Amino acid sequence: MDLEKKLLEGNKRAVARLITLVENKDPAAFDLLKKLHNKTGNAYVIGITGPPGAGKSTLTDKLVKALLKEGKKVAVIAIDPTSPFTGGAILGDRVRMNDLATHENVFIRSMGARGSLGGISEGTSAAIKVLDIYGADFIFVETVGVGQSEIDIVKNCDTTVMVMVPGLGDDIQAIKAGIMEIGDVFAINKSDRDGAKKTAREIDAMLDYNMSDWRPPLTMTIAMKNEGIDDLLETIYEHHDYMKSNDLFEKRRITNAKNEIVELVKHRVLDHLLDNAFKEKMINTLSEDVVKRNTDPYTAVERIMTNINK
C-alpha cells in the first residue's frame, strides 16, 4: 500500500490522509493501524489540559519550539470540542502555531468529535498511533476544558501537564476535584498576573493530599514571554524518569490500552443496540408518554430493556 510506505518514510501528507481516514471510520485505515501496531510505542505522549483561557496553545507552542532545538520530531493534536447536535465544523484557529506548521520536524492537527471513532477519546488514540508510526519523538495532545471528555482524552497520555491560571475564583474548588489525579505536572501560566502566588499556594496545598509517591511539581510560567518553559520541560522529563524507574511507565500504558479497549467496546455495543428503527420508534413514543405523564422514565427504561434483546 502506497500510504503505508509513505507513512513509514515520514511523509506528512500521508499522515494527514491517514488521520482523515480514521476520522471517517474507514476500515482500511484501521486495517493499516492493526498491521503497523508493532511500529508504535516509541513516541512520548504528553497531555496539555486546563481551563479555557489558561494559555495552553501558547504554552504548547513554546514547549514544541524547545524540543525542536533539541533536534526532536514533534507532533501536536489539538482537540476542539464541537457541537454534539450538528456535528459542526472544527473551529480551532490556533493561529499562533501557524509559524510552526511548516517546520519540517513538526506535524500539527486539529481534531473534533465529529466523525471520530466512537468518541473523541478513541479518535485521539488512533491519531496518536498514526503519529507514533510517523516517527514523532513527542506527541502533544492539547484539550480545552476540565470536563469528563478532557479526562478521557488525557487517559491516552504518558504525562499530563495541568495548566492553571490566576483568577479562576471559587471555581478553582470544583476544578481541583476533577484535576487532582490527572495532573502529573502543573504549570501556573500567566504567572505575572495578580493572584498567581495565591493560585500556586492553593494548588500546592491541594497536592499535600496527593496519595501517590510522586508529588506533582509546580512550575510558574509566562508562555507569552517564553518564561519557565525549560523548567516545565524539566519536570516533564522528571516525571518520565520517575515512571520508568518505578516500573510505572508500562503499567500506565496498559491502563491506557484497557481504557481504549473498553471505550471501543462500549461504542460498538451501543451502536448495535440503538441503531435500530424499531427501538428508535419505541423510545420516541415512550418519551412523549413521559411528558404526558402516561408513564415515567424508569418504567419506560424497564420496558425497553425487556425488548432490547429481541
Nearer to its own copies, 103 or 303 (CB): 303
Question: Based on CB atoms, which residue is closest to its own copies, 151 or 185?
Answer: 151
Residue in 11, 105, 149, 226 binding its own copies, rule: CB under 8 A: 149
Environment class of residue 36 by beta-carbon count within 10 Å: exposed (0-12), middle (13-18) or buried (19+)?
middle
Cell of 279: 427501538
Stretch that binds its own copies, among 8-16, 196-204, 228-236, 260-268 (CB under 8 A): 260-268
Distance in Å, CB of 236 to its own copies, minimum: 21
Tell which one of 21, 45, 128, 151 touches its own copies (CB under 8 A).
Answer: 151
Q: Is 51 in the site for its own copies (CB under 8 A)?
A: yes
277 binds its own copies (CB under 8 A): no
Strand partners, 106: 74
| Interface pick for its own copies out of 3, 90, 207, 248 (rule CB under 8 A) | 90
Residue 254 is a binding residue for its own copies (CB under 8 A): yes
In the complex, what is the shortest distance from the CB of residue 179 to its own copies, in angstroms, rounded to a whole number? Answer: 9
Binds its own copies (CB under 8 A): choice among 9, 26, 70, 93? 93
CA gap 234, 161 in Å, rounded: 12
Residues within window 192-251 making contact with its own copies, judged by CB under 8 A:
250
Strands (DSSP E) contained in the chain are 44-49, 74-80, 106-112, 138-142, 159-164, 185-188, 218-220
- Residue 103 as a binder of its own copies (CB under 8 A): the answer is no
Provide the strand spans (E) within 50-164. Answer: 74-80, 106-112, 138-142, 159-164
Which residue, 93 or 99, is less far from its own copies as judged by CB? Answer: 93
Task: Give me the phi and psi of 145, to 5 degrees please.
Answer: 125, 180
Report the largest interatomic distance among the alpha carbons of the chain, rounded to a whole angstrom: 67
Q: For its own copies, which is the closer residue by CB, 37 or 198? A: 37
The residue from 18, 60, 74, 92 that contacts its own copies (CB under 8 A) is: 92
90-112 b/e (C-beta count within 10 Å ≥ 16 → b):
bebebeebeebeeeebbbbbbbb
Pattern of binders to its own copies over 107-126, x per CB under 8 A? -----xx-----------x-
Say how far residue 48 (Cα) sits from the centre of its chain. 8
Our CB check for its own copies shows the closer of 105 and 214 to be 214
State the number of binding residues for its own copies (CB under 8 A): 91
Q: Which of 13, 262, 276, 281 binds its own copies (CB under 8 A)?
A: 262
Query: From CA 253, how far away is CA 156, in angstroms rounded?
Result: 8
Considering only residues 19 to 38 of the shown chain, the ones binding its own copies according to CB under 8 A are: 30, 33-34, 37-38
According to CB under 8 A, which one of 146, 161, 218, 243 is a site residue for its own copies?
146
CA dist., res. 13 & res. 122, Å (int)? 22
Q: Where do we find the cell 460498538?
A: 268
Answer for which of 136, 172, 232, 243 binds its own copies (CB under 8 A) is 172
List of residues 6+ apart from 3 with CB closer than 8 A: 14, 17, 18, 32
